[in-house]
Structure 1
């Protein structure tokens, strides 16, 4: 009889073990990008400051640009003067370089007889390729980058830095807004601007002053017909894309401003968003990559009360 009791005890234990092993994993399932955004709260989003937001009106629609005074304060200040005084009204996109940039401003700037006056804007500025990383809140990405010791987001812009005590700079990601210059480092004033419309030309980082980025309307710029080789500059004025106006949002009544929110880049929700891009887990992806490039993280925008764009 004792042996029977012992055997019964062993059988009971054997029955319990599989049940314990079959308990569901307490670790929550990874979320997709859409699930992360759907679960976001109001505090995860921000409204762009109208005092540093430009509206570029084309015949095809409006492009919304957010300026970056934390990285290029003197250029941004000059751009605000130019916008307030209507410098770009009636100008054009006169260059569209395939897989590179579109450029806009005064196509006759090199002709003293035709060039537009700069009004109260400054005609000489220092190069603002980089700034001290000290005092700049920097949200670092987990992955390595071939163009900078550290990459992440600062003030809502993709950026690189040489550690917390080194230099920091904006990155030439898709949609970045830069100030065109000549050979001299300090030859830009923000009157001639370009937007990256192709593969991110990161070799330009720390070589040109970046002043902001497009947060809505990249589809309008990307659809502009390409100009001829080698530079994409149109040969005939009729080929250019007219710019009706470039307006500072703060100069318009609030009811006429664009309703737009941008996902903040300094929150746990943004970290989850980055992870969802690093390891895609929707039905299409069979093998998560475990890595994401800085410029592959497109910061989401949405219209308030109407969900994600």
Structure 2
């Protein structure tokens, strides 16, 4: 690796570390923080507007419309992730809004990362998203990361798991409500 490449890699690493550096809830930007309330407790999600601005805007727009309130965790795979955001609860639904173009990044799909679900088309993310239970590097660079859980991962861990390879959940848990922190202060 030449000097220029090394400097570019260092700068990229510094930018990414700023984008995802650990934070406490009281240090977060209220406009870019979500409260996701489950029956087990409150999950606090830090959004990454510099990494995925269009996806962050969509999530906040739908949250402010109360789109996610009462939505099921329809696909939950033990050791992998919990997926939600489909108003039909089948995994094939979304909002009435236009699908989003991918905003892939170098942020790894580590435990607690929140990323957009999509079809085989990389530009098909709409309203569904998932929270990663365990590091899932095979997703890196293939799904748009838009945030991470900073508090309440122990509540995410309690979401009812699905059955079989599909992770379909019988009697699934729901999002009681989801809000932008700025709107509830």
Return closer, same or farther for 1:124/1:221 CA change in 2, 3 Å cut-off.
Answer: same
Contact 1:57 1:244 survives alignment (8 Å): yes
The separation in 1 between residues aligned to 2:100 and 2:179, in whole angstroms, is 22
- The residue that corresponds to 2:98 in the other structure is 123
Counterpart check, 1:197 vs 2:129: no
Aligned pair partner of 1:48 in 24, 28, 45: 28
Q: What's the TM-score once normalised by structure 2's chain length?
A: 0.80
* Structure with max Cα Rg: 1
- The residue that corresponds to 2:19 in the other structure is none
Contact 2:82 2:130 survives alignment (8 Å): yes
- The residue that corresponds to 2:113 in the other structure is 176
CA RMSD of aligned residues (A): 2.1
- The residue that corresponds to 1:161 in the other structure is none
The separation in 1 between residues aligned to 2:91 and 2:167, in whole angstroms, is 20
The separation in 2 between residues aligned to 1:221 and 1:231, in whole angstroms, is 19
Counterpart check, 1:230 vs 2:165: yes
Q: What's the TM-score once normalised by structure 1's chain length?
A: 0.49
Aligned pair partner of 1:79 in 40, 54, 59: 59
Return closer, same or farther for 1:240/1:107 CA change in 2, 3 Å cut-off.
Answer: farther
Uncovered stretches (5+) of structure 1, i.e. residues with no partner: 1-43, 131-168, 254-309
3-state SS of paired residue (1:174): coil
The separation in 2 between residues aligned to 1:91 and 1:77, in whole angstroms, is 19
Higher relative contact order (CA 8 A, sep 6+): 2
The separation in 1 between residues aligned to 2:162 and 2:82, in whole angstroms, is 10
Counterpart check, 1:247 vs 2:183: no
Q: Deviations over 1:90-111 (max 9, x none)?
A: 1121221011001112251669
Uncovered stretches (5+) of structure 2, i.e. residues with no partner: 1-22
Contact 1:109 1:116 survives alignment (8 Å): no
**Runs of 4+ residues over 6 Å off in structure 1:** 109-112
- The residue that corresponds to 1:9 in the other structure is none
